[in-house]
């Protein structure tokens, strides 16, 4: 079954094939290229995630009770990070997104990005995705 | 005059560590400099042998600590050639120093007064003045910058008027490395009766500002930019000017007499040093100046200039690399971007390769807006860096560019 957990496991398996940071980064950059891009009308200052040294825009739509995320970033490493998060969390029910943990980040060797003080704001990105989930969850109730 | 870099590197314990499995190449000196053993020893020695509160204790430790702290003030006075030791106020750093002056001017400014700020200031030399302008109704005006990263001195002269009360300019730009012509800036301001605050945070590690020869009104800097510890810095101000500024913080140490009806303030420098100061930091600030003077600022500047030329030539060979700030007079700072690559991406890969550079807007967003860029990669060199480290950075950059394009 396609769940947030199964997608996380898929990504863990993919990253386990690499044995150094360079390959992991190259793969992350590659994943950034398949990011479902945010429509230009949503690429506004309001949709910029605060706390990142690069710009990250995220938008969410609810379709058939599933949240669909689109995003973009002006830095390609950041684009790779948000692409990984969106691959995990998009097409999921808001409640499932709220309940999901993010331990997989640690397991794919990106733990260093998890510190709240990191300039790339991975923590801010996760928080923003969960904020969308809270907002739409409230709508569904 | 030459310097023995290998010997100097042995004075800095941190330069021997590894980062991400690679020998550390530390090129973020404009953010903070590394600390030599002499300074670390001064801190350890103070806490091991002297630690006591100063200025009021009658016991031996307190007197020794007071002497050491006041000796440090005299070292700073001598280094910047201030006329009197009490013209040196020990603060927590440049930002604190600027806030003392800005807040003081809050009581002196009135609507119609004008303040001039340069376009290449650090946010810490913009925001306190914006706050004061808002509070007092004074007008804040900006001295523009030219594309090469130098101030537009013609525009400056046009902006100066009899209404100008204060001009605040950095001696060296943190984002671009530009050395500003502070002698001319000061002379022109004085001719209009305006005072000048020079932010020396970036200059102090490279250039000794003689506050009397340059007739500087206020000069501020932080010890951690010149091999000292964090949390300590200084405000130099001419005695007459400091006397007319109201105190910044109330508390112990800054008073002469206190009753519930009225408090009279202590004389300089204590009027601006409320509370227990950073005693260990002050002493270590003195030790840092001793250390740097033992190498010699002329030798340091000459060697850093060599590093700057070497790195500029090497970086310019990288296709699509653009350097921001090409003033004829620069300290050893290179701000750059490569093509459309985001500075954050370059900085992240360089970090993985053990190279510490700064990325982002360097707390100088107006400069980034001027060039219409999100930020830059900034490599800043110090006298303990080597050309071999610059080669390592260039090789790492080439690898990063390959990954990112």
Per-residue pLDDT of chain B (405 residues; tens, 9 = 90+): 689 999 999 999 999 999 888 999 999 999 999 999 999 999 999 999 999 999 888 899 999 999 999 999 999 999 999 999 999 999 999 999 999 999 999 999 999 999 999 999 999 999 999 999 999 999 999 999 999 999 999 999 999 999 999 999 999 999 999 999 999 999 999 999 999 999 999 999 999 999 999 999 999 999 999 999 999 999 999 999 999 999 998 888 788 888 888 888 889 999 999 999 999 999 999 999 999 999 999 999 999 999 999 999 999 999 999 999 999 999 999 999 999 999 999 999 999 899 999 998 888 888 999 999 989 999 999 999 999 999 999 999 999 999 999
The answer to whether the CB atoms of B344 and A53 lie below 8 A apart is: yes
pLDDT at residue A109 is higher than 80:
no
Question: How close, in Å, is residue B198 to chain A by CA atoms?
Answer: 29
Distance of CA A28 to the CA centre of its chain: 12
- Whose structure tokens read 């109201």? B246
Give the tens place of pLDDT for each residue, B227-269: 999 999 999 999 999 999 999 988 887 888 888 888 888 899 9
CATH of B5-30+296-404, one of 3.40.50.720, 1.10.10.10, 3.90.1150.10, 3.20.20.60: 3.90.1150.10
Average pLDDT, chain A: 88
pLDDT at residue A53 is higher than 80:
no
Taken as a whole, chain B contains a residue count of: 405
Query: Which chain A residue has its CA at the smallest distance from B343's CA?
Result: A75
Q: Is A119 on the interface with B (CB under 8 A)?
A: yes
Catalytic (active site) residue A52:
yes
Domains identified in chain A, total number: 1
What's the pLDDT score for residue A79?
A: 93
Across the range A50-79, mean pLDDT stands at 90
First to last CA, chain A: 25
Contacts of residue A78 in chain B, CB cutoff 8 Å? 342, 344-345
The domain spanning residue A60 has which CATH number? Answer: 3.90.1010.10
Relative to beta strand B139-143, strand B218-222 is unpaired
| Cβ–Cβ under 8 Å, residues B268 and B239 | yes
Shortest CB distance from B352 goes to which of A21, A75, A120? A21
Question: How close, in Å, is residue B319 to chain A by CA atoms?
Answer: 20
5-34 in chain A: CB under 8 A from chain B: 21-22, 25-26, 29
| Cβ–Cβ under 8 Å, residues B277 and B54 | yes
The answer to whether the CB atoms of B344 and A54 lie below 8 A apart is: yes
The answer to whether the CB atoms of B344 and A26 lie below 8 A apart is: no
**Cβ neighbours for A138, distance < 8 A, ≥ 6 positions apart:** none
Structural domain boundaries enclosing A80: 4-140
Contacts of residue B403 in chain A, CB cutoff 8 Å? 22, 25-26, 29
CATH architecture of the region B40-293: 3-Layer(aba) Sandwich (3.40)
Could you write out the three-class secondary structure of chain A? CCCHHHHHHHHHHHHCCCCCHHHHHHHHHHHHCCCCECCHHHCCHHHECCCCCCCEEEEEEEECCEEEEEEEECCHHHHHHHHHHHHHHCCECHHHHHHCCCCHHHHCCCHHHHCCCCCCCHHHHHHHHHHHHHHHHHHHC
Nearest to B29 by CA among B318, B308, B314, B272: B308
Nearest to A75 by CA among A57, A88, A87: A57
**Cβ neighbours for B27, distance < 8 A, ≥ 6 positions apart:** B355, B356, B357, B379, B380, B381, B385, B389, B393
Q: ipTM, 2 decimals?
A: 0.87
d(CA B107, CA B84) in angstroms, rounded, equals 25
pLDDT at residue A116 is higher than 90:
no
Query: Which chain A residue has its CA at the smallest distance from B348's CA?
Result: A77
The answer to whether the CB atoms of B342 and A21 lie below 8 A apart is: no
What's the pLDDT score for residue A115?
A: 57
- Whose structure tokens read 């508390």? B251
Question: How close, in Å, is residue B26 to chain A by CA atoms?
Answer: 19
| Cβ–Cβ under 8 Å, residues B180 and B118 | yes
Segments making up each domain of chain B, as ranges: 5-30+296-404, 40-293
Whether B5-30+296-404 and B40-293 share one fold: the answer is no
């Amino acid at each position: 079954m396609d769940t947030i957990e199964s997608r996380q496991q898929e990504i863990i398996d993919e990253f386990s094939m690499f044995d150094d940071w360079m390959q992991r980064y190259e793969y992350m950059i590659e994943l950034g290229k398949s990011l479902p891009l945010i429509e230009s009308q949503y690429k506004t200052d309001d949709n910029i995630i605060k706390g990142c040294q690069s710009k990250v825009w995220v938008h969410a739509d609810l379709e058939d009770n599933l949240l669909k995320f689109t995003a973009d970033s002006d830095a390609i490493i950041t684009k790779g990070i948000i692409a990984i998060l969106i691959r995990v969390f998009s097409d999921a029910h808001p409640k499932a997104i709220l309940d999901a943990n993010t331990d997989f980040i640690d397991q794919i060797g990106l733990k260093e990005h998890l510190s709240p003080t990191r300039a790339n704001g991975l923590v801010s990105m996760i928080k923003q995705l969960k904020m969308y989930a809270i907002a739409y969850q409230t709508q569904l109730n | 005059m030459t310097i023995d870099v290998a010997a100097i590197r042995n004075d800095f314990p941190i330069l021997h560590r590894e980062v991400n499995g690679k020998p550390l190449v530390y090129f973020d000196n404009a953010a903070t400099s590394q600390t030599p053993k002499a300074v670390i020893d001064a801190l350890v020695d103070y806490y091991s042998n002297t630690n006591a509160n100063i200025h009021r204790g009658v016991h031996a430790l307190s007197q020794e600590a007071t002497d050491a702290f006041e000796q440090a003030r005299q070292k700073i006075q001598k280094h910047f050639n201030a006329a009197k030791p009490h013209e040196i106020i020990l603060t927590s750093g440049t930002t604190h120093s600027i806030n003392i002056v800005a807040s003081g001017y809050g009581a002196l400014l009135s609507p119609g007064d004008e303040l001039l700020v340069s376009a290449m200031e650090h946010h810490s030399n913009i925001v306190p003045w914006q706050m004061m302008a808002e509070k007092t109704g004074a007008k804040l005006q900006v001295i523009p910058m030219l594309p090469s990263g130098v101030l537009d001195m013609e525009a400056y002269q046009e902006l100066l008027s009899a209404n100008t009360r204060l001009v605040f300019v950095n001696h060296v730009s943190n984002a671009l490395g530009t050395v500003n012509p502070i002698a001319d800036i000061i002379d022109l301001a004085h001719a209009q009766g305006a005072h000048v605050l020079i932010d020396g945070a970036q200059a102090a590690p490279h250039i000794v500002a003689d506050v009397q020869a340059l007739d500087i009104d206020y000069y501020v800097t932080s010890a951690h930019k010149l091999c000292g510890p964090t949390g300590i810095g200084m405000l130099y101000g001419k005695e007459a000017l400091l006397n007319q500024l109201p105190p910044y913080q109330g508390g112990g140490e800054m008073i002469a007499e206190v009753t519930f009806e009225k408090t009279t303030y202590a004389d300089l420098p204590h009027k601006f040093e409320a509370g227990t100061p950073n005693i260990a930091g002050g002493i270590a600030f003195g030790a840092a100046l001793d250390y740097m003077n033992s190498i010699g600022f002329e030798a340091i500047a000459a060697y850093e200039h060599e590093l700057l030329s070497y790195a500029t030539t090497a970086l310019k060979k990288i296709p699509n690399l653009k350097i921001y700030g090409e003033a004829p007079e620069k300290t050893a700072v290179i701000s750059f971007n490569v093509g459309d690559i985001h500075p954050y991406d370059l900085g992240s890969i360089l970090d993985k390769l053990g190279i510490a550079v700064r990325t982002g807007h360097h707390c100088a967003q107006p400069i980034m807006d001027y060039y219409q860029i999100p930020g830059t990669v900034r490599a800043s060199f110090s006298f303990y860096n080597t050309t071999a480290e610059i080669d390592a950075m260039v090789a790492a950059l080439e690898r990063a560019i390959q990954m990112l394009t």
